[in-house]
Structure 1
Amino acid sequence: MSGLDSSARSLAAAHLTACDREPIHILGTLQPHGFLLALDGPELRVVQASANVPDLPGRPAAEIHGMPLRRAVPEVFDAVAAYRAAEPEGAGASHLGSVTLDTVEGLRSYDLAAHPSAGLLVLECEEIASEAASARSLDALYPRLSAFVEGLHAAASVPDLCALLARDIRHITGFDRALVYRFDRDWHGTVVAEDGNGVLPSYLDLRFPASDIPAQARELYRRNRLRIIPDAGYAPVPIRPTLTPATGQPLDLSQSILRSVSPVHVEYMRNMGTQASMSVSILVDGALWGLISCHNKAPRRVPLQARNACDFLTRIFALQLAAMEGRAAAEQRIRLGAIQARLLGYMAEEEQFIDGLLHHPEDVLALADAAGAAVVTAERCELLGRTPSADEVRGLHAWLSRHRSKDRVFVTDALGEAYPPAAAFADRASGVLAISISQKYPSYVLWFRPEVVQTVRWGGNPNKAATPDPAAGGDRLHPRKSFEIWKETVQGRALPWSEAEIGAAKDLRAAVLGIVLRRAEELAALSEELQRSNKELEAFSYSVSHDLRAPFRHIVGYSELLRSRETDRLTDKGRHYVDTIAEAALSAGRLVDNLLAFSQMGRNSLNRVTGDMTLLVEEVRRKMMRDLPPERVIRWQIGPLGRVYADPVMLRLAIENLLSNAVKYTRDKSEAMIEVGRAPDRDGEAAFFVRDNGVGFDMSYVGKLFGVFQRLHRVEEFEGTGIGLANVRRIVERHGGRTWAEGSLGAGATFHFTLPLREGGR
């Protein structure tokens, strides 16, 4: 089946827009497996209530409006009052425990949840199904949680992580099918992992259109992570009155657990052949990465504790996912940074900097993982690799100059959609990444990727039908009735450019402009790239530490609740399990707090204190000697070095780099000699040196010593990354000091650095 034409895509976009306008957060109804009270004021008076509030002895449901909560439902008052007094952070629902009400129809047990909404406090009481008793025990869930965390460490890839999550979520919930559904940049979703019992058909590897989950639904998924529909055939329960008396607006149920479901979504579920569903949002760095979507052929209730376990598993999964994807992205950035550094060096050596690119086509193509590239100015059109013809590239250059002149970077994986003449050379350039390399003239570096023809397997025809609906004032969007595999051949598209590749192109553009402005040396260094990578790693460490605090607090809290409220029902072994869980969670929480403090320290500016330089060098030396083989003979000569005013963490790193270099480059000596000393102070600076009798270096290359990735010895002779001395220079310069070196081949080397004698001194 051929790809969608432009008119079909326009119609689909119009339908999606109509669906986007559905007010699913203010439908004014609930699912019937619980009831809701909207409370106002210091007395928590009931201003709105769902129509299914149970009658209590002496308090008919019809009389509840305007009544203080203490009289309306006295059994829940203490829990709600404690929640309000605690002033909870955020707008999400908080679980307050469980309660049993003696209604006129008999005893009923409920799980309580509360959240703020437009100045009101919304209390939801979800009825506890009798068959959920066995699943409510933390002991029953803990082994699965523990095994899941262990499995995360063994997972070698993102697909492995997703498969593990789908399996464990389905095991905990008992649903017929559990899917891990990932969004792409256009918000289409693909099922990347699945676990099922065969009752429902497999959707693995199928794609679903963005219109299945419109924009406002995605926002609700982001804000309210867990959603359950026990029975799609339910009769909605209205909230009375429909509008909040104080505001005249419908009650916002964005954070509601019991919130009713869009009629379109109910129809969608029926068409899928499912009667119950549950979804858990997968958030990475606060953005919606995907969903865990669970389905059951028959109605099914999932108890609160099981749902909380699913939420906990998903958060842990998201942290591991972010770590894995972040590590891959960081590795790619470092690799591209090394290529960029080489290109900058080549350009700096050429009289015409563009020749530095043209003489090294392999690195130019590798920087963006492209099949071809072009450097185009008003006078030149130079082609590298597999590209369109010179005339075709000239035409594209003219279009970019006319229509994209304000774009510093132009990126697309479907050039033909923006520039129709590109259809003629789609096999060579369906994807284009272009950077402007002049502030004044229309000059560009362009990278090309060829068309990759794909067959996309959709879960049913993604073109939704709209039928006239006079009551709605126009057409009504209906979900498709069939989810049989529907294939679409996608043409005119290349593999998308990654953020790291786009970032590398942007950095190259900045560097080229810097060379034109005679700032090649400053931009050739990779200090900015390394600083950005460090900040990302620090931010990730901070995020992991911060996000883990709440789950551990929940574990401790529920353990304490279980120990205090269920102690008569627990065996000695059960109490031991609960104590062990609480102790482990407290220990992990302390570890997280320490990690958080560490990451915050790394995010702060210099923290200078006065310290003993001799003690610092001696500590580094002792630590280094513990890692050396016993046959190494090193004669050390240290100090006295006096006191310095510096950041001790950064200064330690600089000393470690200098001493490790001295140890490394003297390892061929039968007796190495390493001296650390202090020269006479002058001009407000304390001057230090590290001298060794190692292999030394040729002074004609001294200018390269402190550069990023600059090495004067082959890696086969001496290991290293080539950034140690660059870090030394960066640390010293941040303190306001200077670095330089002296040496000769075979006769050792001396590295000097200075530190101001007082804060701000230079």
Structure 2
Amino acid sequence: MRNPCWGSVGRLMFKNEETEKFQSNEATIQPNGFLLVLEKEDLSVIKASTNFSKIVVGGAKTIIGHTFEELFGAAITANLRRRINQEGRTLMLISGDFPLFDQRKFNCFVQTIENRILIEMEESDDDAEASTEQTVALTEAVASFGKVGSIEELIHLVPPELKKLSGFDRVMVYKLDQAMTGHIIAERVSPGMESFLHLSFPAQDITLETCESYCRNTVRAVPDSYYEPATLVGDSGPITLSNCALASASKLHIQHLRENGIGASLTISIVSNGRLWGLIVCHHAKAKAVPHWLRSYCEVIGKLISLKISAYEDNAERDLKEKLRRFFEKVRENPTQEALEIELINSAPTILELFDGKGLALISGDTIRTYPVTPADIDLSKYAEWLKTTDQKHFFVEDNLRAKFPLEGMIETASGVITMSFPAHDLSMHIFRPELTQTFTWASSIFMSVEKTRANTHPFQVLRQTIEKHSAPWTLNQMFMAQVFFDSMKNTLNAIEQK
């Protein structure tokens, strides 16, 4: 949840009657695999998917009531028992000559949920295994990702490498900003496929529940957007499929795919330090098999990219903290308020670099010191008086200062501000950002603008909006470090006063 003293860009108001979820709430599966639900105690089948009728005479009803050992034999049952208490989904191969299943081979994923065991089964054949070329593509992608020196380089390398590995027609990187607005920041498409590059999607399109789901299940696939879901039959007890790869996608997600001519999709989560940083989204014009080897390779790539982004962000944060530490260490060498103020102005270039600001103003009593581009002194004086005469918080971050302090003279150089006020010491410091005109190309399932509602909007029909009189938004890292700086300043001033 955003801190109420942090600014927010005044974008469109969106109303989405059904916010985007990947998974359906219904207990149905995609028919590219089969699902068994076993009682944990005796391994008897209590539920099965209806699409078993494709490979078993009599379908699911023939299977229900049998024990797993009756279906697949003692050796495979012993293998299953070793996996029952393992955490997460574990891979198991079922292969042999079974009365009900002929000589079929299955790649199975096993997971235990309370007193039930879920087994996802996908038929395995030569086409379901990775070729030498595909394994080489994975190796080359991993090697390429290891050579990059920044997040930007990494992200722009992802689409071509994933496209080569997966064979999908469109591969995009979708990044979430601190307001949970999504942006397509990199893309590679096949000829004839529409580009989604630079489209933005409102925060309402991905709920907190959906973010948590993407963090848990980092690879999602819809091999055929025109599939007919298979239901589960058997006992009437409820079952959750939230961690199943075969679980049906939500009706809204399927509608999005179909209405945009997408026959298959593959989504890989990028999770940095426990939060959903973004997604790698792959689209194909026609239905396309997504075998377990491809999902496994994509899981490896997703984790590698997530780890590298986490490392880049951690290093950036460490650098910021080290610069702050050195600054306050220098202040402690001469602990007076006058020395602190001099050091703040002398260190203005470093402080602006820390927060990507363009101007700094230090107001001590009636004295105003600035560096290098800030509002006029008369406007700064009015701003300082306003801070004293309102109940405005002593620390706040804003990218739309006009919404709080309507003085037109400050908009050009100070649309965004980090304000740190210390009224007990008659001191305040302000870091400014100028106005930045931004144009957003919005894409969503349902739009509602400030002026009017646009009904029956095509899910990816775009709507352009220009934002003025705002600065570039402050990042979460910058806001966090500003809070740390404010607290350190307050502690330093209090320590000086007590000497």
Equivalent residue number for residue 421 of structure 1: 406
Alignment of structure 1 residues 199-348 onto 2, 5 Å: 199-241=192-234, 243-244=236-237, 250-342=238-330, 345=333, 348=335
- CA contact 1:49–1:65 (8 Å) conserved in 2: yes
In the alignment, the residues of structure 2 paired with residue 486 and residue 9 of structure 1 have an alpha-carbon distance, to the nearest angstrom, of: 10
Alignment of structure 1 residues 604-683 onto 2, 5 Å: none
The Cα shift of 1:305 comes to: 1.0
Match of 1:116 among 112, 116, 122: 112
AA aligned to 2:441 is R
The Cα shift of 1:189 comes to: 1.8
Equivalent residue number for residue 664 of structure 1: none
In the alignment, the residues of structure 2 paired with residue 165 and residue 361 of structure 1 have an alpha-carbon distance, to the nearest angstrom, of: 37
In the alignment, the residues of structure 2 paired with residue 358 and residue 490 of structure 1 have an alpha-carbon distance, to the nearest angstrom, of: 32
The Cα shift of 1:263 comes to: 0.7
- Closer, same or farther in 2 for the Cα pair 1:482/1:425, shift >3 Å? same
- CA contact 1:423–1:492 (8 Å) conserved in 2: no
> Secondary structure, in 3 states, of the residue corresponding to 2:118?
strand
Q: CA RMSD for the aligned pairs?
A: 3.6
- CA contact 2:22–2:210 (8 Å) conserved in 1: no
Equivalent residue number for residue 15 of structure 1: 16
Deviations 1:27-77 (A, max 9, x none): 111111112122223212223222223488797631443432223554853
TM-score relative to the length of structure 2: 0.83
- CA contact 1:141–1:309 (8 Å) conserved in 2: no
Equivalent residue number for residue 434 of structure 2: 450
Match of 1:509 among 454, 477, 486: 486
- Closer, same or farther in 2 for the Cα pair 1:108/1:340, shift >3 Å? same
The Cα shift of 1:457 comes to: 3.1
The Cα shift of 1:150 comes to: 2.1
AA aligned to 1:348 is P
Match of 1:145 among 129, 138, 141: 138
Equivalent residue number for residue 394 of structure 1: 384
AA aligned to 1:321 is I
- Closer, same or farther in 2 for the Cα pair 1:146/1:391, shift >3 Å? same
Deviations 1:278-308 (A, max 9, x none): 1111112222111111111110102111221
TM-score relative to the length of structure 1: 0.56
- CA contact 1:45–1:66 (8 Å) conserved in 2: yes
Deviations 1:508-555 (A, max 9, x none): 434433443336999xxxxxxxxxxxxxxxxxxxxxxxxxxxxxxxxx
5+ long unaligned stretches in structure 2: 1-7, 449-453
In the alignment, the residues of structure 1 paired with residue 265 and residue 428 of structure 2 have an alpha-carbon distance, to the nearest angstrom, of: 52
> Secondary structure, in 3 states, of the residue corresponding to 1:518?
helix
- CA contact 2:37–2:46 (8 Å) conserved in 1: yes
Determine if the alignment matches structure 1 residue 434 to structure 2 residue 419.
yes
Equivalent residue number for residue 446 of structure 2: 464
- Closer, same or farther in 2 for the Cα pair 1:199/1:101, shift >3 Å? farther
The Cα shift of 1:231 comes to: 0.6
Percent of residue pairs identical: 24
Equivalent residue number for residue 34 of structure 1: 33
Pick the structure with more helix per residue.
1
In the alignment, the residues of structure 2 paired with residue 294 and residue 394 of structure 1 have an alpha-carbon distance, to the nearest angstrom, of: 51
- CA contact 1:230–1:275 (8 Å) conserved in 2: yes
- Closer, same or farther in 2 for the Cα pair 1:325/1:262, shift >3 Å? same
The Cα shift of 1:114 comes to: 1.4
Alignment of structure 1 residues 497-536 onto 2, 5 Å: 497-498=474-475, 501-518=478-495
Determine if the alignment matches structure 1 residue 382 to structure 2 residue 368.
yes
Match of 2:466 among 474, 489, 504: 489
Equivalent residue number for residue 52 of structure 2: 53
- CA contact 2:324–2:485 (8 Å) conserved in 1: no
Equivalent residue number for residue 94 of structure 1: 90
Equivalent residue number for residue 190 of structure 1: 183
5+ long unaligned stretches in structure 1: 245-249, 467-476, 523-762
How many aligned positions are there?
Answer: 482
> Secondary structure, in 3 states, of the residue corresponding to 1:481?
coil
- CA contact 1:55–1:104 (8 Å) conserved in 2: no
Equivalent residue number for residue 82 of structure 1: 82
- Closer, same or farther in 2 for the Cα pair 1:72/1:494, shift >3 Å? same
The Cα shift of 1:151 comes to: 1.3
- Closer, same or farther in 2 for the Cα pair 1:503/1:179, shift >3 Å? closer
Work out which structure has the larger RCO, using CA pairs closer than 8 Å and 6 or more positions apart in sequence: 2
AA aligned to 1:124 is E
Equivalent residue number for residue 168 of structure 2: 175
> Secondary structure, in 3 states, of the residue corresponding to 1:216?
helix
> Secondary structure, in 3 states, of the residue corresponding to 1:19?
coil
In the alignment, the residues of structure 2 paired with residue 364 and residue 140 of structure 1 have an alpha-carbon distance, to the nearest angstrom, of: 50
In the alignment, the residues of structure 2 paired with residue 65 and residue 234 of structure 1 have an alpha-carbon distance, to the nearest angstrom, of: 24
> Secondary structure, in 3 states, of the residue corresponding to 2:146?
helix
- Between structure 1 and structure 2, the one with the greater Rg is 1
The Cα shift of 1:211 comes to: 3.2
Match of 1:404 among 376, 379, 393: 393
Equivalent residue number for residue 624 of structure 1: none
AA aligned to 1:509 is F
In the alignment, the residues of structure 1 paired with residue 351 and residue 287 of structure 2 have an alpha-carbon distance, to the nearest angstrom, of: 58
> Secondary structure, in 3 states, of the residue corresponding to 1:175?
coil
> Secondary structure, in 3 states, of the residue corresponding to 2:252?
helix
- CA contact 2:159–2:186 (8 Å) conserved in 1: yes
Equivalent residue number for residue 370 of structure 1: 357
- CA contact 2:178–2:476 (8 Å) conserved in 1: no
AA aligned to 1:282 is I
The farther-off stretch of 217-226 and 113-122 is 113-122
The Cα shift of 1:464 comes to: 1.0
In the alignment, the residues of structure 1 paired with residue 369 and residue 97 of structure 2 have an alpha-carbon distance, to the nearest angstrom, of: 78
In the alignment, the residues of structure 1 paired with residue 117 and residue 455 of structure 2 have an alpha-carbon distance, to the nearest angstrom, of: 35
> Secondary structure, in 3 states, of the residue corresponding to 2:469?
coil
